[in-house]
A and B are shown apart, each in its own frame.
Chain A
Amino acid sequence: MKRYSQTTGEVGESSDLSPWKTADALDLVYVGYGLLIVVLVLVSYVLGAFTWLPYDPEQIRVDLLNAPPGSAGHLLGTDFLGRDILSRLIVGIQAYFLPGLLAIVISLLLGTTLGALAGYRSGEVETLVTYFNNLVDSFPRLVLILLVIAAFKPGIYYIMVVVGVTGVPAVASLIAGKIEFLGQKNFIEAAHVLGLPSRVILLKHILWHHCMPLLVIQATIGMGEAILIETSLSYLGFGVQEPTPSWGNMVQAGANYFFQGKFWPSTAPALSILFTILGFHLLGDGLNGILEGSAGK
């Protein structure tokens, strides 16, 4: 049964209502959750950077192996070597946070440049950029990274550069598509006619006003991917090495104990990965929903 009603009195103009008011409640929840995760990650990053941790993440406590959450002051319990899990999780963020930002920055900068070039001047430039996009997309990211690892045995930052580059096609095609779409509208022509100085300034107009939300959403997706890659790599043994914690190597280290029925050391980091990536995805989705809603109505 669906109920519809009309409020008595003056009918409001939809443009009067800000996008936040007309947004789907669900999208707001998504954004709220996403922001919560972002805040947690930021806070944890700072805590980890200054080692303001409840416990020393590498300190082994033989007397307190595999303690369940809440025991003896360990909020999330201890792992199979008695190390505090919460502290290890917090430190684990160091492994992906800054590198992830690097990847995002590269994706967005390079992607926007290429996308703008392709969208603004069609023809050969567009073909070249398309070729580049398809080329990058042809590689499974993990395989490409393994290739790079085989060649250089690089640190995580270099790997994130590769991740950033692999994220370029997505951003570029979005930006190019948006510019083509906007190009069909008249205001760009109008601006040209009005003698707005150079196309660069025009691009600032377009990019800032219209592409910004798109880029923010891409950034959230990018962070999710960076987390996935870093944790996968450290799981495979290529990233941060024991005893330094990374969410990936924590899961891997706890594997044997998992099969013995001691799930928590592997599951705690896995859940962290889950909730964090989910947070970034939902943030992007929620923002997308809100912005589309305000554009559509």
Chain B
Amino acid sequence: MVHSSSGPEIGAPPATGAREPGIFRGAAPTFPAGTVKLAATKPITLVLARELALAALLLVGVSFVVFVILYLSPGDPFSVLLEGQISNHAARAGLREALGVPRTWYVQYLSWLGNLLQGNFGTSIRTGLPVFGEIARVALSTLYLTLGSMLVTLLIAVPIALHSSVRGTTALNWLLTMLAYVVSALPVFWLGYVAVYVIIHQFGVFPLTARIAASSERTWPFSLLPIFVLGIGNGTVSEVVRHLREEMSRVMGEDYIRTARAKGASVWRHAFKEGLLIPMTEIIASKIPFILGGAVIVEQVFNWPGMGRMAWQAAQDRDFPVIMGIAMIAATLVRLGSLLQRVVYVAVNPRASNERRGAAWAE
């Protein structure tokens, strides 16, 4: 991944001919354009700009898919949606009048998208409140769940993976890996019940309103419960373990690690970047969709007021503006995660700015 077999042989001796006689002093030499440091634009910002553009393009595609799904659904949800984006009742009536002729689909799409970009996600059919505000209200709760559970998953998976790759196959890490597998196959909703049951019987409190419990001094640990349940039960633990272990094992076999060992240097310091940091961000970024999906279920189990439960409610009520808004937000979060992962990769890997992005098989 890091090395490419072909690649420009940058770093040819300077065109000035004879070797520099001693430690370089004085003014900067004039090296031919091919030599090492790229001029002008910082390569990292270039790469990031490109990544941002890609993410934006994808999100446009997402919005199109969302639009198409709603457009194809029976009834006329779209006008409902569009009208919902106009809050003034009088203006809405005016629009209906003006809309004597049904608008074409791409005009509808563009106007909806335009509104979206301005933050106008329409109004909820059920509550009549602006969707964006509603989502914003609960987004933080889901974010808390998502990030917290990622941490839990890593806390479990990283030690197992590292132990496996460094110590090789021992009975202990086979057991742990097996455990990770079993845990990944457990239905998370049942796990949630177990957790709730334990809480009821250990603490005599029914955390139906875990979120409220979180604000009270005595019962704030309850808010950790859904994080643990999601972190353990989101089904990704075994894959995270496997990916991390594979990558670390691969890195351990690399030539430069052998050099580090021969030099008496700390292998960990050398292996960390490629063996742990990058794979970790890679796998987590790719698992964000799964974690968000799991959040929908966990929020059900714990009656946790987040985007997931809102989405569930919206699906029940066929509240299109809400569910579309949540879909867009969720996709945005996924792309954000992917972007962050690329940022880390570029920051860590000195060649990244020169590499062609190539196929996203690596994603």
* Contact A138/B289 with A176-B359, A176-B361, A278-B182 known, Cβ cut-off 8 Å: yes
Of A13-21, A44-52, A146-154, A192-200, the segment with at least 4 beta carbons within 8 Å of chain B is A146-154
> Inter-chain contact count A-B, CB under 8 Å?
154
Please name all residues of chain A whose beta carbon is closer than 8 Å to the beta carbon of B293 when the two chains form the complex.
Answer: 140-143, 232
Name the distance in Å between A243's Cβ and chain B's nearest Cβ: 20
1/0 contact string of A270-296 vs chain B (CB within 8 Å): 100111011001100000000000000
Tell me, in angstroms, the Cα distance from A120 to B226 when the chains sit together.
46
Chain B at the A interface: SS class: helix
Please name all residues of chain B whose beta carbon is closer than 8 Å to the beta carbon of A133 when the two chains form the complex.
Answer: 360
A140 B186 Cβ-Cβ under 8 A: no
* Contact A259/B200 with A140-B292, A141-B293 known, Cβ cut-off 8 Å: yes
Of B22-30, B60-68, B96-104, the segment with at least 4 beta carbons within 8 Å of chain A is B60-68
Tell me, in angstroms, the Cα distance from A251 to B186 when the chains sit together.
12
Please name all residues of chain A whose beta carbon is closer than 8 Å to the beta carbon of B326 when the two chains form the complex.
Answer: 143
Please name all residues of chain B whose beta carbon is closer than 8 Å to the beta carbon of A122 when the two chains form the complex.
Answer: 359
Identify B363's interface contact among A134, A176, A255, CB under 8 A.
A134
A231 within 8 A of B: yes
* Contact A131/B197 with A146-B296, A274-B187 known, Cβ cut-off 8 Å: no
B290 within 8 A of A: yes
1/0 contact string of B177-196 vs chain A (CB within 8 Å): 00001101111011001001
- Chain B interface residue count, Cβ-Cβ cutoff 8 angstroms: 59
A266 B190 Cβ-Cβ under 8 A: yes
Name the distance in Å between B137's Cβ and chain A's nearest Cβ: 18
Tell me, in angstroms, the Cα distance from A136 to B235 when the chains sit together.
20
A-side interface size class: 35 or more
1/0 contact string of B44-58 vs chain A (CB within 8 Å): 000000000000011
A135 B58 Cβ-Cβ under 8 A: yes
B143 within 8 A of A: no
A144 within 8 A of B: yes
B190 A267 Cβ-Cβ under 8 A: yes
A107 within 8 A of B: no
A113 within 8 A of B: no
B311 within 8 A of A: yes
A58 within 8 A of B: no
A281 B297 Cβ-Cβ under 8 A: no
Please name all residues of chain B whose beta carbon is closer than 8 Å to the beta carbon of A135 when the two chains form the complex.
Answer: 58, 61-62, 65
Which B-chain residue is minimally distant from A271 (CB atoms)? B190
Name the distance in Å between B264's Cβ and chain A's nearest Cβ: 26
A residues 139-177 near B (Cβ < 8 Å) are 139-144, 146-153, 173, 176-177
Name the distance in Å between B112's Cβ and chain A's nearest Cβ: 15
A97 within 8 A of B: no
A139 B330 Cβ-Cβ under 8 A: yes
Name the distance in Å between B67's Cβ and chain A's nearest Cβ: 11
16 A-B pairs besides A173-B361, A228-B235 with CB distance below 8 A are A138-B334, A139-B65, A139-B330, A141-B293, A142-B293, A142-B294, A144-B327, A146-B315, A147-B315, A148-B69, A151-B70, A228-B187, A232-B189, A232-B293, A236-B297, A248-B189
Q: 7 A-B pairs, CB-CB below 8 angstroms?
A: A134-B58, A135-B58, A146-B314, A152-B74, A236-B296, A236-B300, A274-B186
- 10 A-B pairs with the lowest CB-CB distances in the bound complex, closest first: A151-B73, A270-B190, A142-B293, A140-B292, A146-B315, A277-B185, A140-B289, A140-B293, A278-B185, A138-B331
